[in-house]
Structure 1
Amino acid sequence: MLQSLYKCQRNLCTKIRTTSLFVQFVSTSCGSNIPTDESTLINLYHRKSHGLSKENIISDAEPLQLDTAQCSKVSTFIEFFQNHGFSANQTKKLIRLRPKLLVSKVDKTLKPKFKFLQSIGFTEDERNKIICGNPNILMSSIEKQLTPCFDSLKMFMGSEMQAMAAIKRSPQIFNYKISSGLKQTLQVLHQLGIPDSQVPEFISKVPIILTINPEKMNKVGLRLKELGFDVTSPAFRAAFSAMSVLNDSKMERKLENYRSMGFSDGEILNIFRLQPTCMFYSEDNIRAIVAFYVNKLHLSLSHLSQRPSFLLRSLKKRVIPRCSVMQVLWSRGAISKVGKLSSILMISEKDFLRKCITKYEAQVPELLAAYRGELVFNDYTFHLSEIHQISMSKGSSSEAR
């Protein structure tokens, strides 16, 4: 885990299971009780699962064998989650992670857990995210596991609100007996040098720490200190959370992904130090956004390693729409310079709309089209002060097409 990052510092001086379509193993297991005609199946699941098509309901879990009686529970399950505000993607995720939930008893198994989370005070949206983050909650005992866990959190955190905040950050907490390991957790934090006054905040910000083996927790903390992290900084908490979740193989895969794009070990280490949460992002997402910055905006990898916060911005929802707006403004002569990329990406949505769209929309009518992604640019030719290598001239600005 940390050994790979530690190696970066020294260098400076899913197994895929047999995949089955959900509709395939349902129809195979249930025989004639479930229609096998493809069009009928697609219609059935569009109707029963609020948008989950045959292609969408794919599980990389082991195929679930259903008998005739269990088959009747499937549509009941899907309707239950639909009626409780779950999106198609959330329902798909639950099916993928816990196929056996499909045959669970709605009244005896599912409803009580929903009521329990509601009684604590979670909103529907919060409850659904927590369940998707930890489907084991639906199979846990309220009396033996969920209630004792929440009571322990309340006692330690000092209030229900703080306990709820911890659960929202780390739903996996509900899988553990908090009280049994709390004393050792506190001892390790003290040994790492975290001041007593900051311990409650540390656990509140990194609640997953309550689920980690104390020996592993101490190892992670010491390695982070060796990498130069200040134990009192927010970056230390974020790095601790990342290193606690990612095992050695996953961490190495993410590091190799950065190396394959051309980042040096020193640059990777700097990214991790400044924005540890970059290690949480999928390899494909990171590759896509780095490719955009390098190939479209002509930023250097070195520059990106110094400003890894750029890597955390959504490419489709923020980076491309805002850059497209700036391209139109610049190419139409509405502005003479764009300035820093940070001034484009980091301001709030409200401020960006006010400063860059509302202000110019009468003069440049196509701004909203650019913001909605309806204009496609082969290149962005406006000048950024961050750009180190750029081949363009203002007279050859690319047009939207």
Structure 2
Amino acid sequence: MKIQNVKGGYDFLPKEQKIRNYINGVLKSTFEEYGYLPIETPILCYFDMLAGKYDENNDILNEIYKLKDQGNRNLGLRYDLTVPFAKFIALNKNELKLPFKRYEINKVFRDGPVKVGRDREFTQCDVDVVGLSNQMIEAELLSLYVRAFTKLGIEIKIKYNSRNLMRGLIKNCGVEEQLISPTITIVDKIDKLSEEDFLKELTNIGLSYNQALKLLDSFNMSLEKLNEIFKNSEIGEIQKGLEELNNLEDYINAINIKEYCEFTSSLARGQDYYTGNVFEVYEANGKLPGAIGGGGRYDKMITEFIDDGEIYPAVGISFGLTSIFELLKNNEELSSNNAIDLYIIPLGTEKYSLSLANKIRELGYKVDIEMNNKKIKKSLDYCNKENIPFVIILGEDEINNK
């Protein structure tokens, strides 16, 4: 038998896990400052529930870990926290008061190809609100991003856009309905492509060259310019998208986070379930190339999942814990902070040392004891290596003279 981890799963040494715990602690305290409540959902789910919102050709269905229980029921390991959250609302809606604000930090699993930024087992961190359809709550989520990353010491830039505006601009270029989704996928890559490659990819999926040129022009406009040109547009998605963005921008200015935020007309976020404004967060100085957070409005998902005739507008954001760890993993201050305040070295006083350690712990200190009969010098060397600030060497004389 070869002892090894499954590809895409990892062990974390204490030094690494301390940083991960620190990140989670900062995020949890920030979420609770904003009134978000913790929940937990099961890892094991019925497969049909996990697969229900996707068509049979969707790649995500191939990435669900599938299994059967002893009753031959089809189960799966959750691949995100959003579908389990929709299930949570469905099962507990009579116990919850809307709007409901929640956060969850938990493991998810995906049986896909392993590469940088894509593991098979990883921890996801989501913050969501159900029951509010306005941009006020979206602005609060953006301010939560600013607050959390400031506490972590990470400079950020938040990009934001409206999926409605994207669809409207594409329709305005005469693109047929069946080509809108693949067009959005290409537009989302506009910053990574040369102008020539961008036009080529659009024509390859069936757009005319003139349509592609018009799209290139549309998705290089500022929000101010879009408002000026399309203020009287008869395309509903454009009007709705501009309204969503203008409302959000008013709140961004009102709460003084404009310096962190940047309108980006090409931002799509990959998921088709987004129905309004979307967001992505990047490290401001280019230390990591990809996003370290993202989210948006998804008003239809929970509504269609529950399907009880009620409307459940929702918006949520996520934090890329793996990316955040990469940014902080070399922070010596975080990794060197020792968990132990005091180390006791017993010299034939083991029972008394155990009792003393418990009494000191009751005062709020973190205490460890040498239990391997090491010589004093080796024990002191250990304390120096681990940056333990205080040591008690406890012998019979110390007890008798207490």
What TM-score, normalized to structure 1? Answer: 0.22
Identify, as 1 or 2, the structure richer in strand: 2
Identify, as 1 or 2, the structure richer in helix: 1
What TM-score, normalized to structure 2? Answer: 0.22
